[in-house]
Amino acid sequence: MQVTTHIDHGAVTYTLTKAELAELLFQQVGLNKREAKDMVETFFDEICEALIKGDTVKLSGFGNFQLRDKPQRPGRNPKTGEEIPITARRVVTFHASQKLKAAVEQSIRNGAN
């Protein structure tokens, strides 16, 4: 399977679409294509629904998706230099688990990219 990569300032971005993820489930797990697609859609729908309700999503051994409220703050229009307020908003953050961090650190020590 060909997965899209993009190199920007020396860093490689690995892009895995839902369709590619479903294809991996089809190839490696043996689900039929419809089941694989439905599983991927359900997985992401469940994460979205939980976040919309204000819940934290914990994926054991991978990490946590959390909501964070950012207060209003002063900003500046880059064209005019005029000060403008940046409105308060709620953002989704991701915190990697210790297990994921350790795996990444180990791969760096072993020279993997």
| Whether the Cβ atoms of residue 62 and residue 97 lie closer than 8 Å to each other | yes
Q: Does residue 49 register a pLDDT over 70?
A: yes
What's the whole-number mean pLDDT along residues 85-93? Answer: 97
1 — pLDDT class (breaks 50, 70, 90): low
Q: Could you report the per-residue pLDDT of 56-72, keeping only the tens digit for each?
A: 999 999 999 999 999 99
> Distance (Å, rounded) from C-alpha 109 to C-alpha 7?
22
Alpha helices in 1-113 (DSSP H): 18-29, 33-52, 98-109
HSE-up of residue 113 (Cα within 13 Å, Cβ side): 7
- Domains of the chain: which residue ranges? 1-54
> Distance (Å, rounded) from C-alpha 86 to C-alpha 74?
6
Q: Could you report the per-residue pLDDT of 8-42, keeping only the tens digit for each?
A: 666 778 889 999 999 999 999 999 999 999 999 99
What's the whole-number mean pLDDT along residues 81-108? Answer: 96
**Superfamily the domain 1-54 falls into:** IHF-like DNA-binding proteins (4.10.520.10)
Q: Residue 80 corresponds to which tokens in the numbers above? A: 């005019």
The confidence score (pLDDT) of residue 87 equals 97
Please state the length of the chain. Answer: 113
Q: What is the pTM of this model?
A: 0.76
Dihedrals φ, ψ of 56, to 5°? -85, 140
pLDDT averaged over the chain? Answer: 91
